[in-house]
Amino acid sequence: MLALEGVKILDLSRVIPGTFCTMLLGDLGAEVLKIEAPATSEFPGSSSSPQEASNLKQAAYYAPNRNKKSIVVNLKSEAGQEIFYRLSQHADVVVEGFRPGVAKRLGIDYETISKLNSRIIYCSLSGYGQEGPYHAFPGHDINYIAMAGILGLIGSGEGPPVIPLNLVADFAGAALYGALGISAALLARNNTGRGQYVDVAYVDGAVSLMTWFACGYFFDGSVLKRGQSWLHGAYPYYAVYETKDGKYITIGCLEPHFWENLCRLLGKVEFIPYHFAFDHTFHKPEDEKWDEIRAFLKEVFLTKTRDEWFELLIHNDVPAGKVYAPHEVFSDPQALHRQMVIEVDHPVLGKIKQVGITPKLSDTPGKVRSLSPLPGEHTDETLEELGYEREEIESLRQAGVVY
């Protein structure tokens, strides 16, 4: 048995945060039906013909659509809306990522669908949420993390902020919080018997990720500054260092005993007293000793390769991490042991590698049951299950309602 087995999700998402959200739920057993728009595709490089060999391979490797079925429906048509209404009567969850107001214009908003199915859980993912003075504004991850106070804290104190990958607002703020909100609403429905609306804003999620960092500000007005706190690389005990082979190693000696381990390993016991003090939380150190320590560490880490340092540090109980290129992650023994790289059988392409499933549930573990479908691969099957006759389906296809 899978944890979310029997939960039926209608996935209206058109961009990756919504798609990743439903992938997470699908990995845990939910039945996800992706309702795609005509002549669109999420994975780059695909042509308009889903049957081409290149699309078959791209779809197979496009992990965000795994554990899903796909139909292509024109929701701008009355007949297409009717298909969605029939589907929603048998569904548990709807996930959409349109800009606020679009679902209502299409006639597939929560108010409409909840009248057809009072148990439906309807999750909307949008940049600034469904209400408020910014709700209609456009945006992307870079805009949301800027507004959440995150971008201004990334990078050194010199020059502009450093733009990270879109992991914070898109994948954490929207996708993870979306999956959490849906899961909580499903649990609540077991007690109330009612569905509900789940309003997830990318920027809300990003602000929520700042919770711990905001404590000092709410307490006494203390404000973090980029490159000047103990977690920004301002201190040599929590930093990145270049190694002999031109690669990089990280150390994270936040606790005094870890710093002591490193100092003793390097024969620098006189550095031991120079560690964390409360004012390091918000301010860069002024003592010249810190410059001496950092200069020494920069020099010493250039004497061995990254991997040599990692083995030496770890075996002396010093927190360290190799700065990997992406391809190195997927051959790391820990990632392999934790099954964060998996192989899934494809009927044409053979073994397909993908990133594995994160929550390791002991009794109801997640599973990749199927690879990503081609757009519209399950249109006929799904419509037949809804009671449409073959002649009706063909008529809908000729009219451009389904594909």
Give the pLDDT score at 256.
Answer: 95
Contacts (Cβ under 8 Å, ≥6 apart) of 155? 161, 162, 226, 227
Domains: count for the chain: 2
- 8 Å CB contact between 23 and 66: yes
**13: CATH:** 3.40.50.10540
Q: For residue 53, tell me if it sits in a domain.
A: yes
pLDDT of residue 284: 74
Across the strands, what pairs with 320?
A: 251
- Is residue 12 located within the same domain as residue 118? yes
* Rounded Cα gap, residues 209 and 170, in angstroms: 12
**Residue 231 lies inside a defined structural domain of this protein:** no
The set of catalytic residues is 140, 170
- Crossing angle of helices 306-314 and 256-265, rounded to 10°: 120
Domain of 22? 8-209+340-398
CATH number of 274's domain: 3.30.1540
The Cα–Cα gap between 108 and 99 comes to 13
pLDDT confidence of residue 46? 37
Give the per-residue pLDDT at 96. 98
267/353 same-domain check:
no
Spans of the chain below 70 pLDDT: 40-53
pTM listed for this prediction: 0.94
Residues 344 and 317 in one domain: no
pLDDT of residue 384: 98
Amino acid at residue number 138: P
Together in a domain, 160 and 12 = yes
Same-domain pairing of 383 and 311: no
Q: Dump the DSSP string for 290-333.
A: HHHHHHHHHHHHTTS-HHHHHHHHHTTT--EEE---HHHHTT-H
- Last-in-domain residue among 322, 355, 370: 322
